[in-house]
Amino acid sequence: MTNTHGSHTGHDHSHADFQPDIKEPKEDWEFLEITLRELLVDKGILSAREIQDEIEAWEKKSPEKGAEIVARAWADEDFKARLLEDANQTIRDFGIEVDVLKMVALENTSDLHHVVVCTLCSCYPRPILGVPPLWYKSKQYRSRVVREPRAVLNEFGTSLTKDTEVRVVDSTADCRYLVIPVRPSGTENMTEQELAKLVTRDSMIGTAQALDPLGLRS
């Protein structure tokens, strides 16, 4: 790697878009977090260990789980049928805990494209997709996608013909939705593991399509 600007050697720039962690608390709410945590720990209501364990459990929840499920659905028609029929049981059988939420899988086809939003808060299928991206929680996405879905999809680089019905799914209650994107063509001989790499987080929210295997290879 060339190092013309004295940047850290061996550190590529793929994380340039990520905001750095805040080392020293500056904002009122950061002090409030420390305050509440210390009070709860001092009083024995929570333990520091539990908080740490919860953070680690959270980090294990990622879109990779959802991608494995979608890849299985692409590869196995029976599995897909069960997933569409009873997502909770099927996801549980897959080894993922989904607690009290009602999980619902929606299949995208060339005729029907689902895109998920929560206009009231930021409901998201965390057990299989991890924590939501900032844009999913943003007022811009939540306000606009129900009214101008195609304009919003365009901002994600997703363009659909008028023949495809765009169906915006507002998860206003106890259900959490997983979109099964359209399986790309040219993937007939791919293994489940290879297929899972084509399934992005955004394709399972419905703001994007699954990756094109040709684009991935190039």
Partner 1 sequence: MNNRLISDIGGLPEGPLDLSEHEPTMTERRIDAMMMLLRAKPRSFWASDENRRTIESLEPDTYKKSEYYERWVLAMKDLLIEKGILTDAEIESKLIEVRSRMETS
Partner 2 sequence: MSDQLKVGSKVRITNAYPPGHIRTPFFLRGKEGTIIRHFGKYPNPERLAYGLNGLPKLNLYQVLFDMESTWQGDGSFAANDTLTADIYETWLEPI
Q: Which residues are catalytic?
A: 118, 121-123
How many residues of this chain bind partner 1 (CB under 8 A)? Answer: 53
CA distances from 5 to 1, 14, 17, 18, 86 (A): 12, 16, 18, 20, 54
Q: Which range binds partner 1 by CB under 8 A, 25-33, 82-90, 107-115, 185-193?
A: 25-33
Per-residue binding string, partner 1, 31-50, x by CB under 8 A, is: xxxxxxxxxx--x-xx---x
Q: Residue 180 has what DSSP assignment?
A: E
The encoded tokens of residue 201 equal: 């987080």
130 binds, among partner 2, partner 1, none (CB under 5 to 8 A by kind): none
> In angstroms, rounded to a whole number, what is the distance separating the alpha carbons of residues 79 and 60?
24
In the complex, the smallest distance separating the C-beta of residue 57 from partner 1, rounded to whole angstroms, is: 8
| E strand intervals along 73-215 | 102-107, 112-117, 165-170, 175-180
Q: CA 96 → CA 47, 58, 80, 90, 191, distances in Å? A: 26, 13, 16, 9, 21
Interface positions, 159-188, toward partner 1 (CB under 8 A): 170
102 is a site residue for partner 1 (CB under 8 A): no
Residue ranges that bind partner 1, judged by CB under 8 A: 15, 17-19, 21-22, 24-25, 27, 29-40, 43, 45-46, 50-52, 54-55, 58, 117, 119-122, 131, 133-135, 137-144, 146-147, 152, 155-156, 170
